Structure 1
Amino acid sequence: MINVTVWNEYLHEREPGRVAEVYPNGIHQAIAEGIQADDLRIRTATMDQLEHGLTEEVLKETDVLLWWGHMGHDQVSDEIVNRVHERVLKGMGLIVLHSGHFSKIFKKLMGTSCDLRWREVGEKERLWVVDPAHPIVEGIGPYFELPHEEMYGEHFDIPAPDELVLVSWFEGGEVFRSGCTYHRGQGKVFYFRPGHETYPTYYDENVLRVIANAVRWAAPRHGALPIYGHNQPLEDIRTPNPLEA
């Protein structure tokens, strides 16, 4: 069983208008319901909860954390960001969605500005699978399309991905690295581009399949733990020490 926490700042949906109509129970709830499966135990957390819903206990019980944020990036406590960062380095998976590219945690893990070009006119997005053998795109065809999305365009200021899984093309002509994997410490990170709040992207079966696949890919594999610090030799050292000569 994989323990999943879906985190959402949950600000847009509380204001009257299009976002509340599309996601009346919040983006986090739409994702949680959309990826439900027998092998996933899912909980949600939002920024207004105690410690943003990401207490030490919650994170200790989380194998994979999903992160959606936009208008509240600066409101996220640095203490919580550092807590999540430490958990990723120790093996927790992290899936960063759409505008989460500008979140404190993603920028901290990437070490770059994570900036990009954007345009919101509701144009078509075609997502091409460029690594068809990757488990994150299992069950996905050569490409899938979203009829309306916000455009993100290159240059995307991120480190070169460990694996590039998906590339987007937009009706206006731009392309974008929209599915990128990274390893940070013992943890796996996946950035997935689609998900603008005014469009029903998180009801799309292909988007949900990619997210669910990414959860399983990012889940910790409990192998040998790394050993750091001063270490005793495994064999006798017979080389003369020049400092003792």
Structure 2
Amino acid sequence: MARVTVWNEYRHEREREVVADVYPDGIHAVLAEVFEAAGHDVRTATLDEGPEHGLTEEVLADTDVLTWWGHAAHDEVRDAVVDRVRERVLDGMGLLVLHSAHYSKIFKRLMGTSCSLKWREAAETERLWTIEPGHPIADGIGEHVEVEEAEMYGERFDVPAPDTLVFNSWFEGGETFRSGCCYRRGNGKVFYFRPGHETYPIYYNDDVRRVLRNAVEWAAPGDGPTPDFGNADPIEEIDTSDDRTVH
């Protein structure tokens, strides 16, 4: 069991009826159900949940995996909160970056690039191909996943080359896109997963939900040793009398 915090802007669902029809209680509520059904300890947080957007030091300290969905209000996320999330990722917290959160401050900060891409809204078919069938995130997923209605994202996707590319998408209009990208940042694992537009019911797709559950289990921190940094005493006996140092 992992401690999962599901973060969502929760703006579109309150401001646009077409989005509320698909996600009446918010995208975060649907995602929380996915992880709760898998037995995880789940809480939600939203952009307007106080000056820290629901991501206080206490909440993040009690989070193994943070999922992030944003679209219209990336710039409203306080830099101090972004710094806090980044430090937790470097310390070992997992991060799932979903769909349009490729433009979130935290993902751009961790990637060090613009994270820009091509896009088109035409409710077109997406075929999500499994590139690494042996990867834990692809467990139980077939050779490909069919998404009947999707927003197109196209290359070039301005991110660093993934440590592992688990999924690659083809769209009805002809474009392709790196849709399932794994990264390590410090002690933490980051997974970017493309499917999930606000006006299409993609988070109800059984295969998409399976990927999300797998990703949480992959990204959750393990029980490995905590690394030490800085000046170190020798493990073996050596002569430490040399004083040629400027530190």
TM-score by structure 1 length?
0.96
Percent of aligned positions that are identical:
63
Task: Choose 157-166 or 227-236, whichever is displaced more.
Answer: 227-236
Please name the residue that 2:205 is paired with: 204
Shift of 1:232: 1.5
1:234 aligns with 2:235: yes
1:6 aligns with 2:40: no
Using the alignment, how far apart are the partners of 1:38 and 1:190 within structure 2? 18
Tell whether the 8 Å contact from 1:34 to 1:203 is kept in structure 2 after alignment. Answer: no
Using the alignment, how far apart are the partners of 2:124 and 2:74 within structure 1? 26
Task: Choose 138-147 or 38-47, whichever is displaced more.
Answer: 38-47
Inter-CA distance 242–34: structure 2 relative to 1 (3 Å threshold) = closer
Please name the residue that 1:60 is paired with: 61
Shift of 1:237: 2.9
Please name the residue that 2:98 is paired with: 97
Tell whether the 8 Å contact from 1:3 to 1:41 is kept in structure 2 after alignment. Answer: yes
Task: Choose 44-53 or 66-75, whichever is displaced more.
Answer: 44-53
Tell whether the 8 Å contact from 1:69 to 1:100 is kept in structure 2 after alignment. Answer: yes
Tell whether the 8 Å contact from 2:38 to 2:213 is kept in structure 1 after alignment. Answer: no
Using the alignment, how far apart are the partners of 2:243 and 2:101 within structure 1? 53
- Output aligned runs, 1:211-230, within 5 Å: 211-230=212-231
- How far does the alpha carbon of each residue in 1:68-114 deviate from its partner, in whole angstroms, 9 at most, with x for none? 00001000000100000000000000000000000000000000000
The gaps in structure 2 that reach 5 residues or longer are none
Using the alignment, how far apart are the partners of 1:80 and 1:222 within structure 2? 26
Please name the residue that 1:117 is paired with: 118
Shift of 1:143: 0.4
Shift of 1:209: 0.5
Inter-CA distance 4–121: structure 2 relative to 1 (3 Å threshold) = same
TM-score by structure 2 length?
0.95
Shift of 1:137: 1.0
Please name the residue that 1:186 is paired with: 187
* Aligned-partner SS, 2:158: coil
Using the alignment, how far apart are the partners of 2:95 and 2:117 within structure 1? 21
Shift of 1:39: 3.1
Give the residue type in structure 2 aligned to 1:226.
P
Tell whether the 8 Å contact from 1:95 to 1:214 is kept in structure 2 after alignment. Answer: yes
Using the alignment, how far apart are the partners of 2:39 and 2:92 within structure 1? 19
Shift of 1:174: 0.3
Using the alignment, how far apart are the partners of 1:158 and 1:148 within structure 2? 25
Tell whether the 8 Å contact from 1:35 to 1:209 is kept in structure 2 after alignment. Answer: no
Shift of 1:38: 5.0
Tell whether the 8 Å contact from 2:168 to 2:180 is kept in structure 1 after alignment. Answer: yes
Please name the residue that 1:48 is paired with: 48
Tell whether the 8 Å contact from 2:96 to 2:192 is kept in structure 1 after alignment. Answer: yes
Please name the residue that 1:145 is paired with: 146
* Aligned-partner SS, 1:152: strand
Aligned residues: 244
Please name the residue that 2:171 is paired with: 170
- Output aligned runs, 1:127-138, within 5 Å: 127-138=128-139
Tell whether the 8 Å contact from 2:90 to 2:188 is kept in structure 1 after alignment. Answer: yes
Tell whether the 8 Å contact from 1:117 to 1:155 is kept in structure 2 after alignment. Answer: yes
Using the alignment, how far apart are the partners of 1:16 and 1:202 within structure 2? 18
